[in-house]
Structure formats: C-alpha cells, structure tokens
C-alpha cells in the first residue's frame, strides 16, 4: 500500500470536480456515472437515488439534459486546497463552469470533498470520495435544490 501524495490528491480532485460540476447536457449521464464510481458505497447509493429522481420528481440527469447546453471547465484554472492533517482528507475546489457559446464570466462553483484511501488494485488513484459539500451544504440537499431549480450546484 502506498498512500496518495498531495500531487495525486490534487489530480484526483481536479478530475472529479470537472466531471461532477461540468453539467453538460450531452455528457451528464456519463459524467455522473464516472463520479459515482469513485464514491464510497454509501455515498454512491444516495447520490444515484438523488440524480435519478422519482416518478413524481425528475432527477438531475433529466433536468440537465433538457437544458440542451454544452459546458466546459478549465481544469488549469481550478483553485485547489488540500488538507491531509486529519482523516478523511479535506480538499476544497473552486472553479468556473462556462456555457459554450455564451460570453461572460460563467458560473462559479465550490466543492468540499472528503477523500479516503482505497485499494490501488480496485481504484488506480487509491482514493474514494467519502463526502461532498457544495458551497457548504450536504450533497443530497444541494442536488435536490438544483433539480428543483433546473440547474447544477
């Protein structure tokens, strides 16, 4: 076993944040599946239930698909702070989601990730997401609110 170093934690957080926050109508399902596969099992199940929705309430996937927009995030412009002093490790990510074809500064997003060790045999990065907060709120309530408003946190 080798513990992920700060460079590996930053690379993982960058990739996760891009897939999680991109909110592109044409890749949303693949992006969220990628994210779910890098979450601890308990978080993964809650996340899947929230993004799928119910018969009464459309999930985030349907809402984002209906927007029919292309979005992008510049991974090089993300602000990432890693704190490995306590476990699970804490990573703060701030960035901007740009809607392709629109001018302006884009939509800002903030994620607070809690990361835990994972088997490198199962997960090359050696990391899993244990917890997610978007702008300070637990992921379940953020996703539910975003779904109701027709957007992504």
pLDDT band, residue 140 (cuts 50/70/90): low
Q: What's the pLDDT tens digit per position in 87-119?
A: 999 999 999 999 899 888 888 899 999 999 998
Mean per-residue pLDDT for 6-14?
95
Give dist(CA 42, CA 66) in Å, integer. Answer: 29
- H or E element that contains 127: strand 127-134
> Of 31, 150, 11, 19, nearest to 80 (Cα)?
11
Q: What letter would DSSP give residue 31?
A: H
Return the percentage of the chain with pLDDT > 90, whole number: 52
Neighbours of 11 (CB within 10 A): 16
Q: What's the pLDDT tens digit per position in 72-95?
A: 999 999 999 999 999 999 999 999
Tokens 């990739």 correspond to what residue? 15
Give dist(CA 86, CA 46) in Å, integer. Answer: 25
Length of the chain counted residue by residue? 153
> Of 95, 90, 47, 91, nearest to 71 (Cα)?
95
């Amino acid at each position: 076993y080798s513990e992920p170093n700060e460079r590996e934690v930053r690379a993982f957080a960058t990739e996760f944040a891009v897939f999680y926050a991109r909110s592109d109508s044409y890749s949303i399902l693949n992006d969220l599946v990628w994210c779910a596969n890098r979450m601890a099992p308990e978080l993964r199940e809650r996340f899947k239930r929230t993004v799928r929705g119910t018969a009464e309430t459309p999930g985030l996937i349907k809402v984002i698909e209906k927007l029919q927009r292309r979005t992008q995030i510049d991974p090089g412009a993300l602000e990432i702070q890693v704190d490995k002093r306590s476990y699970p490790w804490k990573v703060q990510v701030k960035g901007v989601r740009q809607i392709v074809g629109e001018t302006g500064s884009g939509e800002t997003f903030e994620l607070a990730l809690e990361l835990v060790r994972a088997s490198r045999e199962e997960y090359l990065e050696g990391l899993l997401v244990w917890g997610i907060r978007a702008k300070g709120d637990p992921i379940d309530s953020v996703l539910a609110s975003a779904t109701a408003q027709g957007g992504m946190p």
